[in-house]
Structure 1
Amino acid sequence: MSPISIAQNNDAIYGQQTKSLKSFDELLQKIQKLFESNEIDVDQLKQLMQSYESNPADWIKYVNLSKERYTRVLIDGGNGKYNLMLLCWPANTGSSIHDHPDSHCILKVLAGTVSEVRYCWPKDSYKDDHCDGGIGGNDDHHKNGEEEGMIIADENRLQTQNVAYINDSIGLHRVMNPDPTMPAFSLHLYSPPFDYCRIFDEKTGKYQTINVGFDPKEIEAVKYRVKRRTAAANNSNCDINHHHHHNHPHQNSFGSKDVLVFEMDHNPKHRQQQQDGKTRS
């Protein structure tokens, strides 16, 4: 994976802007342009997200703010290659601890303050989708009665304009708006898209698989599958700290970076459908 540290420092937060994009529409166009290629440099996506100088007038039309829970509004379905969405966080709300099934997650705070808490994977709960047919797997891994509490790897306080990045090889996370009175808004890019994830109990490490949807619109069917190719990075500014997360099969060595390679999926597998009706992570 990209050389990003999540331990005891804020290397996982990208706070420095280079060239500023003044228009949200320009950001959307540049993301769309980047994804015209079937090979995407993840670092370029991070830089694009960082380059936009947030202006609420640009994205207020997407806001769907609830009084009781956070909402997810799909801005661009990305023709199956990515999802770009606005997350609206009322005061004192947050997500459950969750994974990102085989997906890269880039988060930018558009307004307010967001707290991101990162967790190590519970013992034996990481399932490589290339081995068992998909994250979600069999939810009976705690059938021996053992319980393991979640271990916090790091906590980042993200201010407006900050960008953060995570994927399953780095660990799990939960995102919250800690402000007691003011809402927060964040822009999330997931590539490839996913429509289910696992949520974890902080005290026991047990998980359940849930569907995730959008307010008010449902996602289109995924049209692409994604393979990863590791390319040598010319420069690396961050160390990988192996003491705060497991070394999973998707973890690349220091000095390497991710390239997403898209291929048309002519025989897509049906996503696992859950019966519990839950739509939030």
Structure 2
Amino acid sequence: LIQEIHNVLGPDGDLTSEHIDENQIIKLMEKYSSNADDWNRYTLFDHSRAYTRNLIDDGNGKFNLMILAWSKDQKSPIHNHSGSHCIMKILDGQLQETLYDWPSEVVAETESSSTGVPLHISKQTVYHPNQVTYVHDNIGLHRIANPSKERGAVSLHLYAPPYKVCKTFEEKTGRARSSGICTFYSVGGRRV
């Protein structure tokens, strides 16, 4: 799978969001059948946090392929992807994706928390092993959650091009703030 992604996204060099055919990557992700022997060594959990971001391949700067290890009954903040394509495949467990429309007006973090309008949910879907989903900022914002109270979940994510920061959004007000720099919990299966 990793080699096929490299083949599709091409050799070293700059890659912009406009030059990516997300359908090719989605097909590759769909073709791969989840096998814990392939991904288990990259799956590091930390149950003191909602999820960990475990880098498998940095795509020579063109993409990030990573495993997210989700603690039980946890969720991400509502967020964008800074213009990056996000393709997610469920490897183990189940995850719920909630898509939100962009707020009609983004409320800055410096404004009063009572200012703004609640975000509108456009779609909610529960995904199971080997199912793939795709989101881009032109589709909207999203939140991923592990609804299980008994077990963790594991997902494979490809972000192309990679991003270092994104925005998170308050559901009740649409208020946006910078996420800070997105970091990795592990790289190549080793804790950093």
Tell whether the structures are fold-level matches, with TM greater than 0.5. Answer: yes
Render the CA deviation track for 1:228-261: whole Å, top value 9, x for unaligned: xxxxxxxxxxxxxxxxxxxxxxxxxxxxxxxxxx
Q: CA RMSD in A?
A: 1.9
What residue in structure 2 maps to residue 43 of structure 1?
Answer: 23
What residue in structure 1 maps to residue 44 of structure 2?
Answer: 64
Following superposition of structure 1 onto structure 2, how do residues 1-281 of structure 1 map, counting pairs within 5 Å? 27-36=1-10, 39-69=19-49, 70-125=51-106, 139=108, 142=111, 146-210=115-179, 211-217=181-187
SS in 2 for 1:205: coil
Distance 2:142 2:22 in 1: 19
Render the CA deviation track for 1:122-155: whole Å, top value 9, x for unaligned: 1222xxxxxxxxxxxx936846963211111100
SS in 2 for 1:59: helix
Check 1:168–1:40 CA distance in 2 against 1; reply closer, same or farther (3 A cut). closer
SS in 1 for 2:55: strand
Distance 1:78 1:40 in 2: 14
Distance 1:144 1:85 in 2: 34
Residue ranges of structure 1 left out of the alignment (5+ in a row): 1-26, 126-137, 218-281
The one-letter code matched in structure 2 to 1:117 is T
Offset, 1:216: 2.8
Check 1:85–1:144 CA distance in 2 against 1; reply closer, same or farther (3 A cut). closer
8 Å contact 1:124–1:141 — kept in the other structure?
no
Distance 1:144 1:34 in 2: 44
Distance 1:98 1:155 in 2: 15
Offset, 1:66: 1.1
Q: What percent of counterpart residues are identical?
A: 40
8 Å contact 2:113–2:173 — kept in the other structure?
no
Distance 1:98 1:58 in 2: 29
Render the CA deviation track for 1:91-140: whole Å, top value 9, x for unaligned: 10110000000111000000110000010111222xxxxxxxxxxxx936
The one-letter code matched in structure 1 to 2:82 is P
The one-letter code matched in structure 2 to 1:34 is V
Distance 1:122 1:203 in 2: 11
The one-letter code matched in structure 1 to 2:5 is I
Residue ranges of structure 2 left out of the alignment (5+ in a row): 188-192
TM-score normalised by structure 2 residue count: 0.87
Distance 1:40 1:89 in 2: 28
SS in 2 for 1:79: helix
8 Å contact 1:83–1:190 — kept in the other structure?
yes
Offset, 1:35: 1.7
Distance 2:177 2:21 in 1: 32
How many aligned residue pairs are there?
Answer: 179
The one-letter code matched in structure 2 to 1:153 is S
Offset, 1:71: 0.3
